[in-house]
Amino acid sequence: MILYNVTVKIDHEVHDEWLQWMREVHIPEVMASGLFLEHRLARVLLQDEEDGVTYSFQYTCSDMSAMQKYTGLHAPYLQKAHADRYKDKFVAFRTLLEVI
């Protein structure tokens, strides 16, 4: 099983609207790809929140083939939609893990 983790630090100024958009629009669009089995959203604790709040979005898929399909077919559009909407109000990084 593959775990795709996206960590995002979002500016306080847009936090509430962003979190609502993520829950109501972005996560459903990611899941609509049909390539992930489940997802989880968690707030990262013990982080300096002076310049924003940090979240971890975790998506699981069955294998690397599904992940590669998502990365090739869906990720570019979805990442661009997020970047266009929130421009300089966030920082993000992605981590790909194999569940043992």
Domains of the chain as residue ranges with CATH: 2-98 (3.30.70.100)
Is residue 80 within 8 A of residue 23, CB to CB? The reply is no
Q: What percent of the chain is predicted at pLDDT more than 70?
A: 100
* pLDDT reported for residue 98: 96
> 16-28, pLDDT tens digit by residue?
999 999 999 999 9
Choose among 63, 55, 76: nearest CA to 8.
55
pLDDT tens digits along 57-77:
999 999 999 999 999 999 999
Q: Is 41 left (phi over 0), alpha (psi -120 to 50) or beta?
A: beta
Q: What is the reported pLDDT for 47?
A: 86
Distances (CA, A) of 96 to 46, 50, 71, 74, 90: 23, 28, 11, 16, 20
